[in-house]
Amino acid sequence: MAVVQTKPSSTKVTGEELKPVLKQAGLKLAESVVQDFSLLLTNFEAAVDSLPDDREVQPRPDLEKYPRTDIHIPEDNEFGAWASKVTAKCTAPKSNLLAGRTVALKDNVALAGVRCTNGTAMVEWVPEVDATIATRIMDAGAVITGKAACENACMEVISSTSVTGPVHNPYAKGYSAGGSSSGSGRLVATGSVDLAIGCDQGGSVRIPAAACGIVGLKPTLGLVPYTGILGMDATIDHAGPMTKTVRDCALLLEVIAGPDGWDDRQPPVELWDRQPDFVRNVDAVAELPRNSMLDGVRVGVLVEGFQIPGQDQNVAASVRAAAERLSELGATVSSISVPKHIEAAIAWGCSVPASGPRGALLADSIGRKELEFTDRCDLVGDKLTQAQFDALGPGASYMYLAYLWAQKRYGPKLHARCTNLFKAVGDDYDRAFKDCDVLITPTMPCPPGRLAVAGYTDEPLKFMAMTATLLANTSPFNSTGHPAISLPVGFSPASEDPNVKLPVGMQIIGRKYGDTDCLKVAAAWERAFDWKTS
């Protein structure tokens, strides 16, 4: 590869500057070629100097068309659920699909001019761009009323680590609202907003949806563009709707789905026939007679999904009963075994620390064609400072240390090994879908626990033990890309206090791009049964 010098460089690289770089890398160059390579690097610097400003090609919002006002940090943050408040809308919406509706964005979603904490004090950042889905929401007539609190660096599933404070369960103060989209879950459950966006790398939409008694969908990988959202790893990053009802979930999905030309996880625009019609399919189910809403639908109750260590039997019984009731709606319900389901969660737990912190914490997400936050790159180096590390919660601290350990001990091999295993796991799920149309598991194996005191920052082992089982049924489908929705189906006594009743979520998993199947089954159950009395 040759470097073409377009103009004289403002930086001249000398041999004396190159030698320490070589030494740090454990390399040597013959003295006879040091000068040649120094000149080549000088030319490289000239090429860098000649690059145009990338801000000119970033999707910066037209603030006259998409004005935002009243940006502030609220004194009353709804028991921890709000990170920031704003009023953002479109003056000339393209549709009225969400007219009059209010929406909260998880606080890792960029909205220009509004701080984006990502749940942590590690960096202070105010984005200059809007996420694609934020623009689409405003274009549909909705008003974005704020940013919902999320867990520290989006690496926790118990709602006690956000820089903005703990988020309390809407059904029991002092209990977890799930995570990492904790604020989104609570705000929808309490009616503080009509709709919310969550993001999900291992269960961060579905777990808070289950904990808060709402609907939460992790779409098929790539169905919804992740452009303009802080992620962890492009292979597991998903953004999805969190809503009170399945129809609202379908409606919000319809607004935000479809390629945007930035996110390479998505099919090219030319291959996208038309915008998916999720609402029409949900409405069609609701119009059918109760006992035939799911005629011909084969439901597989995933055996391994009920064999998670720490499985609460009240939760298991509630989900089994809810799944069996689908037969009253015309579905056939049977048991399905996918032994690799247990292996998938273990592989996720090895893969994410091996690579995730590189993008999530160090802003280094090379290898994908997607919008990069170059201004945020200036706030993070090639490693965390002590102050940045100290700003992390227990889960994020563990992730970073495991990343350093894995890089030292395994290099790229561990992540590569897990990636190969995920292909085999995904194939096993696909084989299961030859015998069923959807799979069923509990979303969370146990009810939400008590909020950790001060995040257990001085007791990371105790904190991590509380989270160990919560991702077991959700994380596999981030790695394989299958869609999965959490639907509230009942209540379970809290493990710590049988007098406290907390929501139970049933997870419905579909084939890739079978999001409609998940929505139809969820809509039928929701229409036929009252989850609060089931």
Which of the residue ranges 112-126, 342-356, 358-372 has the most confident prediction, judged by mean pLDDT?
112-126
Rounded to the nearest integer, the mean pLDDT of the chain is 93
pLDDT-derived band at 270, boundaries 50, 70, 90: low
> What number of CA atoms fall less than 13 Å from residue 522's CA on the CB side?
35
Cα–Cα dist 195/190, whole Å: 11
Distances 171 to 165, 174, 197, 226, 497 between C-alpha atoms, Å: 18, 10, 21, 31, 13
Helices (H), 218-312: 246-256, 278-286
Residue 10's pLDDT is what?
66
Are 484 and 433 spatial neighbours (Cβ–Cβ below 8 Å)? no
Q: How many residues does the chain have?
A: 534
Residue 285's pLDDT is what?
95
| Other CB atoms within 10 A of residue 467 CB | 20
Q: Of the residues 89, 106, 340, 512, which is catalytic?
A: 106
The answer to whether 532 is a known catalytic residue is no
Per residue in 142-182, pLDDT tens?
999 999 999 999 999 999 999 999 999 999 999 999 999 99
Range name among 288-292, 378-382, 487-491, 516-520 with the lowest pLDDT average: 378-382
The answer to whether 180 is a known catalytic residue is yes
The CATH number of domain 68-528, selected from 3.40.50.300, 3.40.50.1100, 3.90.1300.10, 3.20.20.150: 3.90.1300.10
Q: Of the residues 180, 181, 192, 492, which is catalytic?
A: 180
pLDDT-derived band at 277, boundaries 50, 70, 90: confident
Residue 369's pLDDT is what?
86
Distances 29 to 23, 35, 40, 42, 108 between C-alpha atoms, Å: 10, 10, 14, 17, 44
| Other CB atoms within 10 A of residue 328 CB | 16
Task: Give the start-to-end residue ranges of the domains of the chain.
Answer: 1-51, 68-528
Decide if pLDDT at 367 tops 70. yes
Decide if pLDDT at 400 tops 80. yes
Residue 529's pLDDT is what?
98
The answer to whether 204 is a known catalytic residue is yes
List all residues 6 or more positions away from 86 whose beta carbon is below 8 Å from its beta carbon.
68, 69, 70, 71, 72, 111, 113, 114, 144, 145, 146, 147
Residue 462's pLDDT is what?
75
Q: What is the pTM of this model?
A: 0.95
SS3 state of residue 491:
strand
Cα–Cα dist 20/18, whole Å: 6
> What number of CA atoms fall less than 13 Å from residue 384's CA on the CB side?
23
Mean local confidence (pLDDT), 207-230: 97
